[in-house]
Amino acid sequence: MKKLFLGMAALVLLFSSCSGSDDGGSASVTSHIMINGTLFTPDANTGMLQNIVTSFQAGSNSGAANTRVFALNNQGTSLSDSKSIEVIVTYPFSQASIDGTYLLDGGLSGNVNNYAGGSIFDSGAFLSFASGTVTVTDLGNNKFKLEFNNAVAENFLDETVTSTVTGYFQGTFVVGE
């Protein structure tokens, strides 16, 4: 009886220690992003569908800037219920990592080597970020945390159409081209 109990305890310990160690896939994704007060959770990367993607372009010399693009997608059943967020962060070539808080104004503040821009697609509407900030933390191994601080995106044809993005996303991104 004692051997049976010890065997069962070892199996429980083995399964519980493995269950949280997956560093890829949907288990490593935490999303508390709100778009206009509605929870936004990007779809997991599965097979051909790469919904959590990042790409990086290094500056070629000390005067050029590094650029990293983050894309988070939720493929709805139709275009009208699909959502996506794209954030483009530009930071100085001399800066060792992307870690920092960036003004979401697309460089309109005049700081052309240290800003963020991007867009959201929300239920059929395409909007560009116009204000707020995003804080980016590189957690290593293509894992990043993006925290949105009262980010407002607006339709450039009709500035009365806006969406507010708050909260954070943390997860492993697929490396895109």
The predicted-structure confidence for 46-56, as pLDDT tens digits, reads as follows: 878 899 999 99
- Three-state secondary structure readout of the chain: CHHHHHHHHHHHHHHHHHHCCCCCCHHHCEECEEECCEEECCCCCECCECCEEEEEECCCCCCCEEEEEEEEEECCCCHHHCEEEEEEEEEECCCCCCCEEEEECCCCCCCCCCEEEEEEEECCEEEEEEEEEEEEEEEECCEEEEEEEEEEEECCCCCCCEEEEEEEEEEECEECC
Is pTM beyond 0.85 here? no
CA angle 159, 154, 152 (to 5 degrees): 125
What tokens appear for 55 in the block?
A: 């790409």
Shortest CA distance to 164 belongs to which of 73, 33, 75? Answer: 33
- Mean pLDDT, to the nearest integer, of 15-39? 61
Quick one: pLDDT band at residue 111, thresholds 50, 70, 90?
low
What tokens appear for 84 in the block?
A: 């996506």
pLDDT of amino acid 26:
46
- What would the pLDDT profile of 160-175 be if each residue is shown by its tens digit? 888 999 999 999 999 9
pLDDT of amino acid 168:
96
Shortest CA distance to 172 belongs to which of 75, 48, 64, 50? Answer: 50
Q: Decide the pairing of beta strands 162-172 and 125-140.
A: unpaired
Q: Decide the pairing of beta strands 100-103 and 83-92.
A: unpaired
